[in-house]
Amino acid sequence: MTGPSERSAVAPFYVMQVFQAAESRRRLGLPVYNLAIGQPGTPAPAPVREAARQALDGHRIGYTDALGLPQLRLAIAEHTRAWYGIEVPAANVVVTTGSSGGFLAAFLAAFEAGDVVAMPRPGYPAYRNILSSLGCSVAEFGCGPEHGFTPTLAMLQQLDPVPAGLILGSPANPTGAMVAPDRLAEIAAWCRASGVRLISDEIYHGISYAGPGASAWQFDRSSIVVNSFSKYYSMTGWRVGWLLVPDELLDAVDRLVANYTICPPTLSQLAAVAAFQSHPELEANVARYAENRALLLQALPAIGLDRLAPADGAFYIYADVSDHTDNSLVWARNVLAETGVALAPGLDFDTVDGHRFARLSFAGDITEIEQGVTMLGKYLQAGG
């Protein structure tokens, strides 16, 4: 008997460590201003909660098809047509156990162990860590402020070797940067011509402040689209997401998800059908995020944090904190301990330059955000 497998030796998710430390502080009765966690501060919309209550009263809550409830797959297909103007057969929609389950299924279906998969940095760390645990080689390439934190065609053309896959998030975590539709079309065309499988992370669609996001399937049906009910629909803990899967990978995804999870959570699927009836409530949430965003974009420069990523979508501000630290992980721990303000260290998102950055979430209550910025400002003014 030996110790843990080599494939399990992935980097920790530091933001979850910060979250746990913040909750431990809260349990001690100490003040916490949580600007770290990437989830909405609002509950699931009322139609979703009502659908869940009805399902509990009148449904057996047994297994569903491995690819998801037919009525939910159809609703997602109709949503895709309504939002992006494209016809998507319900057969190409796969309901997943959150976007995390979607990434796992997509990566297993599309890539072999040893394949090189490219991703921009900064970027969501689970991309890198899931791929590494599956035996893939991750090729990160820098997309810093000089490029608006978004990849260019020139960057992709310089990748050597040409990767088997490319992961692209728009709006992106942690920067909120969005890839313009013409740029996405250009990237999708390059991927198809180069034999690169594009994995398009669209889980923050619906939360944008500079126009709606474009979907990769508007330009290339050989890509895999990952989406979720977690962010725009405020259903993080319900653990339900979806994929748009090209025909040639459908059977593989079907076999994989049936073996890995049998099916996504049935109660969540039944409730999620009602999510598409909730847009007025959800748009009110986005309006609140926009108010919180405006507050931070004004308040952070006033306390000395004036080098910020675009924040065109999602609910994050990615700030350069290098005037105050060269170790964002230690700095975030110190900020929490001394002020109660929880921030996500940039090291999570960028293994090269992340020591100079921190991510702040504005998905929560505006009063808590205001208080957190005030406390952070005092800390910085005192030399922290």
Confidence band, pLDDT 50/70/90 cuts, at residue 209 = very high
Stated as kind and residue range, the H or E segment containing 58 is: helix 46-58
Cα four-point dihedral sign 284, 287, 293, 299: negative
CA distance 19 to 206: 25
Domains 6-44+279-381 and 50-276 share a fold: yes
The mean per-residue pLDDT over the stretch 308-314 comes to: 96
Confidence (pLDDT) at 18: 87
For residue 72, the tally of other CB atoms under 10 A from its CB is 27
Task: Check whether 9 has a pLDDT greater than 90.
Answer: no
Confidence band, pLDDT 50/70/90 cuts, at residue 244 = very high
CA distance 379 to 107: 42
| Helices 328-339 and 14-27, axial angle in degrees (round to 10) | 10
Confidence (pLDDT) at 149: 96
Task: Check whether 262 has a pLDDT greater than 90.
Answer: yes
Confidence (pLDDT) at 158: 96
Q: Enumerate the domain spans of the chain.
A: 6-44+279-381, 50-276
- Pair 32, 22: CB distance under 8 Å: yes
Task: Check whether 306 has a pLDDT greater than 80.
Answer: yes
Confidence (pLDDT) at 349: 95
pLDDT by residue (tens digit) across 64-76?
999 999 999 999 9
CA distance 313 to 173: 9
Confidence band, pLDDT 50/70/90 cuts, at residue 383 = confident
> b or e along 113-148 (b: 16 or more beta carbons within 10 Å of the residue's beta carbon)?
eebbbbbbbbbbbbbbbbbbbbebbbebbebbeeeb
Task: Check whether 59 has a pLDDT greater than 90.
Answer: no
- Closest to 172 in 3D by CA, of 203, 218, 206, 215: 203
Stated as kind and residue range, the H or E segment containing 19 is: helix 14-27
Which residues make Cβ contacts (< 8 Å) with residue 307, sequence separation at least 6?
145, 319, 320
Q: Note if the pTM is more than 0.75.
A: yes
Task: Check whether 284 has a pLDDT greater than 80.
Answer: yes
Cα four-point dihedral sign 123, 126, 11, 338: positive
Task: Check whether 2 has a pLDDT greater than 90.
Answer: no
6-44+279-381 has which fold?
Aspartate Aminotransferase; domain 2 (3.40.640)
The number of residues in the chain equals 384
> Residue 343 is encoded by which pair of tokens?
């921030």
- Pair 48, 279: CB distance under 8 Å: no
CATH architecture of structural domain 50-276: 3-Layer(aba) Sandwich (3.40)
Confidence (pLDDT) at 37: 82
pLDDT by residue (tens digit) across 332-375?
999 999 999 999 999 999 999 999 999 999 999 999 999 999 99
Fill in the DSSP letter of residue 61: -
Task: Check whether 1 has a pLDDT greater than 80.
Answer: no
The residue assigned the tokens 């501060």 is 41
Task: Check whether 255 has a pLDDT greater than 80.
Answer: yes
Q: What is the DSSP string of 208-242?
A: BSSSPPPPGGGT-TTSEEEEESSSTT--GGG--EE
pLDDT by residue (tens digit) across 77-131?
999 999 999 999 999 999 999 999 999 999 999 999 999 999 999 999 999 999 9
